[in-house]
Each structure stands twice: as C-alpha cells, then as structure tokens.
Amino acid sequence: MSLFTDASRYIPGGVNSPVRAFRSVGGEPLFIERASGAHIFAADGRQYIDYVGSWGPMILGHAHPDVIRVVQERAALGLSFGAPTQIETRLAQKVCELMPSIELVRMVSSGTEATMSAIRLARGFTGRSKIVKFEGCYHGHSDSLLVKAGSGALTLGVPTSPGVPPELAAHTITLAYNDIAQVQQTFTDMGREIACVIVEPIAGNMNCVPPVPGFLEALRALCDRHDSVLIFDEVMTGFRVALGGAQQLYGIKPDLTTLGKIIGGGMPVGAFGGKREIMQQIAPLGPVYQAGTLSGNPVAMAAGLATLEAISAPSFHAALAERTNQLIEGLSLAARTANVPFSTNHVCGMFGLFFTDKAPVRYFREVMACNVERFNRFFHAMLDEGVYLAPSAYEAGFVSSAHDANLIESTVKAARAAFSRI
C-alpha cells in the first residue's frame, strides 16, 4: 500500500491541506521525510530542489542551524505555559522595528487567524460590516474571506465554499485585482458601509501578480477618504519581498498588517498589528475579542525571531533577488529555445510562471487564461528531473538563501529538458 493510500484511510483526501494532494496536477503527492537547505528528501529515497519552501516560511532554506539550535534550546525549557514570556516581547519588538506601520502586534498561530482577527478588528473599530477583497487573493479560510478566494479554493474550483452562510458572504464585496476604477466606483456607491479593504499587496495565491502602478496608492487614498481600514495581508510577502515587506517596497503604509509564514520560521505563527489607535480596541485593552491557548508559543517565537534576525543581515534580500533573477532569466531563455509560450513575474524572493503569450500577466482573467494542462506536464517533467515546484498553476514559487548559483543552474538545466518534453 502506498503512503498516500494509507493516509487516505484516516485523513480526508490523505492530506491536511488540500493543494498538497496533487489534485490539480494529477498523481500522488510526495511524502517528505526530511529537508536540508534547498533540498527536500522524499520517502521514496529521491531528493528534490525545493521551490515551495513550506509555501513560504523557509526563506533561509530548511533546517537552518541557527533556527534549529534555538528551537531545541527553547523546547528543553518547556513547550507551552499559556502565560507571558520575554521572547514574545522580543519578537514583537523586532516586527515593530522592521515594519514601522505596526505600533502594536498580537501573535496568533496561523495566517488564517491573523486575517480573521484583523477583519473582526476593522469591523469593531469602524462599526461597519462590509469588507472589500479581490478575486484570486487568498486570505485564509475564515468564512468572510472564503468568497471568490485564490490558492486551493481556485485549484479545486470552489471559490465560494459550501458552509459559508450566504448572509455572511453578502458582506464580502469581491472586486477585480488591479482594477482601480472599479474600487473607486465601489467606494463612491457604498464607501460609508465599508469597514476595510484587505489586499495581498503582491498577489501570491493566483500565481504571482504584482500590483499595477497606482493600485495600492488608490486603495490608500480611498480608505483615507472614507474612514475605512486598509489591511495589507503580508502573510506571504512580509519579510520576503523586502525586509520591511511590500509596504516598504512600494512605500505605502497600511492601517493593519497581517503576517504569517516567515514570522514563524517554519513553526505555526501568525500575527496582526498596526496603528495603536486601532489595536487598542483588542481585548484586554478594548472590546474586540481575540485569544489563543498557544498564541505566542515560546518555541515558535524563538524560531521566528532567529529567522528574522538572520534575514536582517546586510544585503540578504539583494542576494535573494539576484538568485531569483538568475532563475527567471534561465527559465525564460529555456522556454524561448523550446518555443513554449511562457511568461513570468517575480519580486525579490517570490516568482510566478505562466504558460501564456501574455506578458506581463497583471489580471486574474489573464491568469485564468493560461494553459493549465501545459503547466501540469511541466510540473511532472520537473519532478522527474528532481525539481519540486508548487503542485498547482495558481501558486507562487519561493527562492531561499540556500538556493545557490549552482542549484539554480541545475534547475535551469532541468527546465531545458522539461520544456523540450512538453
């Protein structure tokens, strides 16, 4: 019996998160035994160069010695107390220093919790119910946000999940990403009802789609004019596209920011934070309730802090960007040589691959028009060549500091073979 068949006897679909199941690309998922640096080692004995990086957290590569050491040290002191620890303060301080728009920050245990809580806070703060999000953006699986969502919800073709009450979904307004005029019109029509706009400042759950010039600026201006809360969901982009996240890269200050992935260095951590005036509404300071038994878990905080300290090294992100450039240039040339219609987006340590003539891809409808069958063949061909890409055409890819120039070159070589076969 395969490991997957065995898992499927006890776990729905054999997985604890849907995209892992390979439903979109076909075949059975790899079971991973261990990972080190840029490599993952599967239970079948094969090793792969990994561009998933646990969907983003592993910006230092897997099992980075500095992170593993502090995790082991902290674990020996006790796993959880449900009471304050100093390491929570240190991580919170680090986050506030790296992202100056964050004056107060609350730790949670996942990106989903972070966005769900930020939405509740925005609603509590403004006394309004409606929220604006964008088609193809994914903000976790809480009810209000699982309306026309991206990521696995796209892959599985169920952008609006059964189980989300229509009465609740009615408060979620879903607009087209990068369509400035549409957001302006929506605010003109119902600005006084809009509690918040939540946006991925670089969309990473419909492949990788950067904002068009003026889009984030328009959101900032509209939220200011209508007293709505602007939430940047930087669960994916935070600490990855620049040390200070997309807000630093584009020079725009959101009111609230949600974080996840890198902030936990591979352990379950999320966070939301922002303006003091808004964050003071959270319990116990204010009436908006939010809590967590394992929130601020000391082992997880230690992993996050060690990760943020390591990526604060001078020119860390410049080096990451250079590696990603090398990868993207190599893949693009390989596709051109093989005459495969192919287009890319990338921002520092994150990238998107599109099987299309359209360049650059900037809109959800353009993402949806890409050749998924060809991506799926490419995915499997790359897997055969020893490269592990995200098992879906709608996910961003991630480069870590462990991907050195030689590994990138090996990846490009694998891609030359893969492109010629698809």
- Cα separation, 192 vs 99, in Å, equals 29
95 or 381, CB closer to ligand PMP?
Answer: 95
State the catalytic residue, choosing from 233, 250, 363, 388: 233
Instruction: Taking the CA atoms of 22, 26, 32 and 37 in sequence, report the sign of the dihedral they define.
Output: negative
335 or 350, CB closer to ligand PMP?
Answer: 350
- Residue 91 in contact with residue 301, Cβ under 8 Å? yes
Give the position of tokens 């992170």. Answer: 67
Give the pair of three-digit tokens for residue 337: 């040589």
112 or 344, CB closer to ligand PMP?
Answer: 112
State the catalytic residue, choosing from 261, 363, 388, 394: 261
- Residue 319 in contact with residue 79, Cβ under 8 Å? no
- Cα separation, 151 vs 276, in Å, equals 32
The residues that bridge with 106 in the sheet, in sequence order, are 272
- Cα separation, 136 vs 150, in Å, equals 4
74 or 139, CB closer to ligand PMP?
Answer: 139
Task: Give me the phi and psi of 406, to 5 degrees please.
Answer: -65, -40
Catalytic status, residue 233: yes
Q: How many residues does the chain have?
A: 422
Give the pair of three-digit tokens for residue 237: 């982009």
Least separation in angstroms between residue 230's CB and ligand PMP is: 15
245 or 418, CB closer to ligand PMP?
Answer: 245
CB-based contacts of 201, cutoff 8 Å, min separation 6? 211, 216, 232, 233, 234, 237, 245, 246, 247, 250, 252
Least separation in angstroms between residue 192's CB and ligand PMP is: 27
Catalytic status, residue 138: yes
Q: Which residues bind ligand PMP (CB under 6 A)?
A: 55, 110-112, 115, 138-140, 151, 200, 204-205, 233, 235-236, 260, 270
State the catalytic residue, choosing from 138, 177, 250, 394: 138
262 or 415, CB closer to ligand PMP?
Answer: 262
Sheet holding 39-42, edge to edge: 32-36, 39-42, 47-50, 387-388
Residue nearest to ligand PMP (CB): 111
CB-based contacts of 242, cutoff 8 Å, min separation 6? 248, 249, 317, 348
Active site residues: 138, 233, 261
